[in-house]
Amino acid sequence: MQKISSVLLKRSANTTFRTHSSFQYANLVVEKNTKKQRLPSDPEKLGFGRYFSNHMIDVDWDAKEGWFAPHIKPFQNFSIHPAAKVLHYAQTIFEGLKAYHGVDGKIRVFRPELNMERMRRTARRATLPDFNTREALLLIDELIRIDADMVPKTDKASLYIRPMLFATDQHLGIGESMQAKWACFTAITGSYFNYDRGIRLLADPEMVRSWKGGVGQYKMGCNYAPTIFVGKLVSRIMAAMQGCDQAMWLSGEDRLVTEAGAMNLFMLWTNEENELELITPPTDSGLLLPGITRQSVVELAREWDLMKVSETNFTMDQLVRAVQEQRVHEFFVSGTAANVGPVSEILYCDKERGVKENLVIPTMSSKMQLVKRLNKTLSDIHYGRIEKKEWQRIVELN
Amino acid sequence: MQKISSVLLKRSANTTFRTHSSFQYANLVVEKNTKKQRLPSDPEKLGFGRYFSNHMIDVDWDAKEGWFAPHIKPFQNFSIHPAAKVLHYAQTIFEGLKAYHGVDGKIRVFRPELNMERMRRTARRATLPDFNTREALLLIDELIRIDADMVPKTDKASLYIRPMLFATDQHLGIGESMQAKWACFTAITGSYFNYDRGIRLLADPEMVRSWKGGVGQYKMGCNYAPTIFVGKLVSRIMAAMQGCDQAMWLSGEDRLVTEAGAMNLFMLWTNEENELELITPPTDSGLLLPGITRQSVVELAREWDLMKVSETNFTMDQLVRAVQEQRVHEFFVSGTAANVGPVSEILYCDKERGVKENLVIPTMSSKMQLVKRLNKTLSDIHYGRIEKKEWQRIVELN
């Protein structure tokens, strides 16, 4: 999986440049922050992505020179040229992963190599430079080590890690950027949602997130901007009811169920063949993001072998019928920020077909308690209460 | 068209804020640049968007306080918080328009109110704050006035104007930004394309720019990022032939012809009813950007009344048949950067249908010379050789 970093020789008209195919941890320059942070003492009040830790990684790239030496420096604003392509043409990609302070005092990062591999696939699609997974992981380890006291010492919070890569070219033409920046910072983070009530979803085929031939399967910034307005509409439509409501994204004439908000989704149901099945839409359609939590849920459920586990498409019609016939037991979303979140209702509005129907899902009262079990197991792995070495990257502290 | 700016009262829990619904030219603060630019003396060498002038407009917005006083200041980098939504979720929009140094020494901007109206429509869809068209135009006038000596004194170049609006919120949650920045800078610009040869287009239905329910009709940054990779593929596929080649975007099972690169497109043909017709796809599909040059071409052609002018969809099948029957006389693209550009060949690759065909279009040798005539008329209006007051905003110099 991990490509060995190599030295690439590029020849231009008058001069020869040496270009590393990745930034190198060995070249890291560290400038420590002397200021101290003040944070809310109650982890419940941290919210998501509001409190940033003291340092950040910053690495520049140039088409001629390749990657420059990585820096870890005090958390600070970027200085960005007004013509940088990120500001105009949205040439930016990102990742989200988390570090947890374990019950044994060790800090664990959850499957970060999967995030780095996905980030590299996304970079290719976004025409941004490639880098080495191992070098990126070593840099992230170092960033966490330096800000180790910012990893919350509670299982109600964690350190959210946000790697990003964006085009910094100083030229307005729409085309490949000749300059880019790889950066990473962290945010002390409580829970994204309050799950006491279950999430309500709004499914309306006029709200479209992705399409065939598009970039829905990549974590590119451009997939998110159009959803902000839709999120606002959803809140407005559902204003009468409280809580953390999201769009459920359908696709095409078949009304395929694909994602919810910026998360993957799962249904535990008795399918048309009378089998107990955990079903989630497949990623090969190109319509949805291959989530790391999604993959982990599929793998855990397959290990447990309590039910059939399928990565298969299902339609809104199938869902409606199954709810009517009381065959849907649990419905939930998954994501790094959200973990696994129970869905309690789906409001299905389909103007074209004259449908407006509220589907009540008994997730919160399910006897199987799959959502609870998944959340507990994931949390046990995150906080080191159980060992699953290949999912737990331990950050060695000094 | 121009909404009168009004004072909006917003009430929050503890305090009352006064929010102007737009930034105000009357509050402008100007800080002059003392440095002088060095530019290539040959306008042909300017390229597109590489040489920036000395000043920029910078206006901040905050959900509580509304718009702050606008600043014109020396052209400089932005200082952007690492969590700003523009860098992660592509919450950014832009416009492109031009100022021309006329043969009478006056500086004219081409139909800027249309750009500002489109920018405001786009801002609404991008969940970014609204502003007043007239105030924005007054600010742009002032910016041009201050950098008036940067407007090239030749009809081979112009001053490209780039207004932009992006989310600067310091919070990672995917949602409405509570802070934003409106900015505008200018670039001394030669021609975007070299038209000696005609443009070659590659039409492949696997390359998709926009989709129903998406944001293809808005000038949002997120529409551009996914096209950069496609542009690179097009160059690679057509590497054997030189020149300025672009993707021609098709849509859906019908292979509707929609756009080319980041431009609108037109065809002059003898249609199936044996009428001479200038045809361009309609904007109400939501699949293409309603270009200002596109609108101007339609309006000019209707004024001239030499042919039927239609905003109607046409398919790849119709195009292929018409080329075979020698009914296509001219094919061209339109845009602010490109003006009107002749297309000489369209390579149609449709794997699903087993089609690979090169369509040769006789645009360069057409007797009608519509492309030439349009370019000349637009240029005459730009540089003030003919008067068309409602399309020419004159920047009063001091």
- Phi, psi (5° rounding) for residue B222? -65, -20
Task: Provide the whole-model pTM.
Answer: 0.91
Confidence band, pLDDT 50/70/90 cuts, at residue B11: very low
Identify whether residues A182 and A305 lie together within a single domain.
Answer: no
Residues 6+ apart with CB under 8 A from B286: B210, B212, B213, B214, B216, B217
pLDDT of residue A19: 44
The answer to the question of residue B6 being in a domain is: no
**Chain Cα centroid distance, residue B379:** 17
Determine which of B76, B98, B127 to mutate to test the interface with A (most A C-beta atoms within 10 Å): B127
Q: Which of A189, A217, A241 is the last residue of a domain?
A: A189
Collapse the DSSP code of A340 into the 3-class scheme (helix H, G, I; strand E, B; otherwise coil) and give the result: strand
Residue with tokens 């492309």: B371
pLDDT at residue B4 in the model: 24
Whether residue B180 is found in the same domain as residue B249: no
What CATH number does residue B355 fall under? 3.20.10.10
In a domain, A310, yes or no: yes
Low-confidence stretches of chain A (pLDDT < 70) are 1-20, 192-195, 238-244
CB pairs under 8 A between A and B: 207
Which of B82, B211, B212 lies at the smallest CB-CB distance from A214? B211
From B49, B52, B94, residue closest to A173, measured CB to CB:
B49
Do B185 and B226 share a domain, yes or no? no
If asked whether residues B296 and B226 sit together in one domain, one would say: yes
Segments forming the whole domain that contains residue B75: 25-189
Q: From the centroid of its chain, how far is CA B336?
A: 5
Among B144, B166, B189, residue at a domain's last position: B189
Indicate whether B131 belongs to any domain: yes
With 0-12 / 13-18 / 19 or more C-beta atoms within 10 angstroms meaning exposed / middle / buried, residue B239 is: exposed
**What is the pLDDT, as a whole number, of residue B20?**
57
Q: Do A225 and B174 make contact, defined as CB atoms within 8 angstroms?
A: no
A351 touches chain B (CB under 8 A): no
* A283 inside domain: yes
pLDDT of residue A277: 98
pLDDT averaged over every residue in chain B? 89
Residue type, A132: N
Claim to verify: residue B124 and residue B219 sit in the same structural domain: no
Asked whether residue A325 is assigned to any structural domain, the reply reads yes
CATH number of the domain where residue B183 is located = 3.30.470.10
**A320 and A361 part of one domain:** yes
Is residue A59 domain-resident? yes
The answer to whether A358 and A345 have CB atoms below 8 angstroms apart is: yes
Q: Do A103 and A227 have their domain in common?
A: no
Flag if B56 and A82 touch (Cβ within 8 Å): yes
| Helices and strands counted in chain A (H then E) | 7, 22
Are A121 and A250 within one domain? no
Among candidate residues A138, A161, A189, the one where a domain is terminated: A189
Q: How far apart are CA B249 and CA B256, in angstroms?
A: 8
Query: Is there a single domain that holds both residue B126 and residue B41?
Result: yes
pLDDT of residue B242: 46
Give the residue from B72, B342, B77, B98 showing the smallest Cα distance to B197: B342
Query: What pLDDT score does A233 carry?
Result: 78
* pLDDT value of residue A194: 64
Give A15's DSSP letter: -
Distance CA A307, CA A317 (A): 23
Number of structural domains chain B divides into: 2
Contact B74, B35 (CB under 8 A): yes
pLDDT computed for residue A239 by the predictor: 58
Helix-strand-coil percent breakdown of chain B, rounded to 5? 25, 35, 40
Query: Is B372 part of any domain?
Result: yes
195-254 in A: which are within 8 Å (CB) of B? 205-208, 211-215, 220-229, 231-232
Give the tokens for residue A180.
């880019």
For an interface test with B, give the residue of A56, A73, A92 to mutate (most B CBs within 10 A).
Answer: A92
Give me the pLDDT at residue A36, please.
75
Q: Name the most confidently modeled range: A183-192, A240-249, B70-79, B169-178.
A: B70-79
Is residue A73 assigned to a domain? yes
Residue B215: band (very low, low, confident or very high) from pLDDT cuts 50, 70, 90: confident
| A3: Cα separation from own chain's centroid | 23
Q: Are residues A281 and A339 in the same domain?
A: yes
Give residue B1's pLDDT: 24
A155 and A264 in a single domain? The answer is no
- Per-residue pLDDT averaged across B146-171, rounded? 94
Q: CB under 8 Å to B279, separation ≥6 — which residues? A: B266, B267, B268, B269, B271, B310, B311, B312, B314
Residue B300 has which token pair?
């000019």
Residue among B82, B369, B143, B341 at smallest CA distance from A76: B82
- The verdict on A180 and A228 lying in the same domain is no
3-state secondary structure (DSSP) of residue A32: coil
Closest A-chain CA to B127? A229
